Amino acid sequence: MRSPAPIHFGPHPVIPRFDCPVPAEQVDRIRRLAVEILADDPRLSDTGVFGARVHSGLADVPSLHIHTVDRRFQGGSPVLREHRGLFLAREGDLVVLGEPCDDFVAYCREDLRLGRIGVLVPRPGRHTRRLGLAVLQDPTLCHRVAQVARRAGGLNVIPYQATGGLWALAGRISELSETPVGVGGPPPRLADAVNNKVWFSRQVGRLLGEWALPPTTSASSWALLAERVRRLARIHPRVGIKLPSAAGSVGNLVLDSDELLRFTSLAELRDHLLGLFAEMGWIDPFPTLVSVWEDSVLLSPSLQGWIPHLEEGRPILEGVFDQNVTGRVGRFVGSAPTRLSREVQELIAAQGARILLLFQMLGWYGRCSLDTILVGDDPATARLHWVECNGRWGGTSIPMTLVNRLVGYWQEHPFVTAGNLLAGSDRRFDELHRAARSRLFDRDERRGIVFLSPGPGETRNGFAALSIGRSLPAARRGMRGMLRELGA
């Protein structure tokens, strides 16, 4: 059986995995819901303030990749995250790096043969962790990028997440170059909404029904938070509190109900929660999501998708991956193609297709993944709950896209990823590269280890890697072998 052909959106190869047409009556229902949402927030998909030549979409022109994000409560190392833009770049593209690791850049260009990728380093300033704003406030870099756009007749700006700051940069480049600039992501207000856990849960409940979510509510004040936490604690053994716009587990707090119920008054519980939030640096956290923290979670599958413009076709479902999460709050540390049966995967894909179609009808464009949990004793009969949307590039979608670039199709060359490796070590990338050389990715063999970040000496937070094999067990063995080589 021939592999499905990739569909290219700008530099990104997108390969369909599931065909899940949405029934006509459901399409009509989703369209009505989209109309209601837009009526409540008419500016949700508006980009007019950034200029008439700036739009969502990607063309066959050079791209500017920026992989930091202008938001609070982002976990992980900025150095680790910003270098991931190299994996999406191609010959002639530009990548913005605040603290470039020259050895790692050379590895991407030469070992992985991703092409001659230009690196831009903004001048030091107060926006060193907000690279879009740093470029915007650096006239020399803005004019350099505008020159590239002028020569090519246009430019793509491809962000980790499509924030207002990145859209403002696209507007400035378009103004300087007098060319169209496409943003590889949705309008910024829509991006904020979809990545907001409270908003996402509300729309999934309206679309699929409350059964599609863990018991979930939200709170907009300390008094409401205390009341809703205590209400769930009386019924369930653990309660989860989530900051609505935090990435991954960074904004998760898991509390034992027995501890919560020891407070005899709501005022005491409120003061206890206020103290916990202060310890974690969570200032002005409202509205906050409050939900049951499920104990019998079998797996945490993630559905990877790409949403084109409406006239380009329906959302593309690229695969279901099992997320490897650890710790009390479920920190993401890696992923692999799912072990679930085809039937369960298609159930996830069919429901996910409806969610992504709603986002498309609201004006979404680009990368989008949906996180779920399976709750129960057997995957075949477990309850499927939708818990979060990652309306951005991430720790599964970037490796998946990179593997497609390196070997053609990840489904035929399975891979596993792992992060937070050698955390606490000061070993630098050049040392790791030498130590693991015999296990590194071989283009002819189409297997081996690919480093996904500089070393812990540069990231100060461990490093990430993926292993490609002829089978999933082989990919896992390759990862274990690499870790043995490094003494991990």
Per-residue pLDDT tens over the stretch 149-161: 999 999 999 999 9
Q: Which two tokens stand for residue 469?
A: 């094999």
Q: Is the dihedral of CA 13, 388, 358, 354 positive or negative?
A: positive
CATH 3.30.470 for domain 1-44+296-392: yes
The string of pLDDT tens digits covering residues 333-354 is 789 999 999 999 999 999 999 9
- The position carrying tokens 């230009």 is 118
The CATH class for the domain spanning 215-292 reads alpha beta
Question: pLDDT-derived band of residue 377, with 50, 70 and 90 as boundaries?
Answer: confident
Query: Which tokens in the block code for residue 353?
Result: 């297709």
Gyration radius (Cα) of the chain, Å? 22
Residue with tokens 């309850």: 383
Distances (CA, A) of 328 to 196, 213, 325, 460: 22, 20, 9, 23
Q: How many residues does the chain have?
A: 488
Residue 361: band (very low, low, confident or very high) from pLDDT cuts 50, 70, 90: very high
Specify the pTM: 0.91
Confidence of residue 330 (pLDDT cuts 50, 70, 90): low
Q: Give the C-alpha separation, 250 to 242, whole Å.
A: 9
By the 8 A CB rule, do 370 and 398 touch? no
pLDDT for 284 beyond 80: no
Q: In this predicted structure, what is the pLDDT of residue 316?
A: 97
Measure the CA–CA gap between 483 and 488, rounded to whole angstroms.
5
1-44+296-392 and 48-185 share one CATH topology? no
For the chain, the domains span 1-44+296-392, 48-185, 215-292
Determine contact, residues 167/47, Cβ cutoff 8 Å. yes
pLDDT at 148: 97
Region of 51 please: left (phi>0), alpha (psi -120 to 50) or beta.
Answer: left
Confidence of residue 469 (pLDDT cuts 50, 70, 90): very high
- Cβ neighbours of residue 399 under 8 Å, at least 6 residues apart? 87, 335, 415, 417, 450, 452, 466
Residues 377, 296 contacting (CB under 8 angstroms):
yes
Residues whose CB is less than 8 angstroms from the CB of residue 42 and which lie 6 or more positions away in sequence, other chains included:
none
What topology does CATH give the domain 48-185?
Rossmann fold (3.40.50)
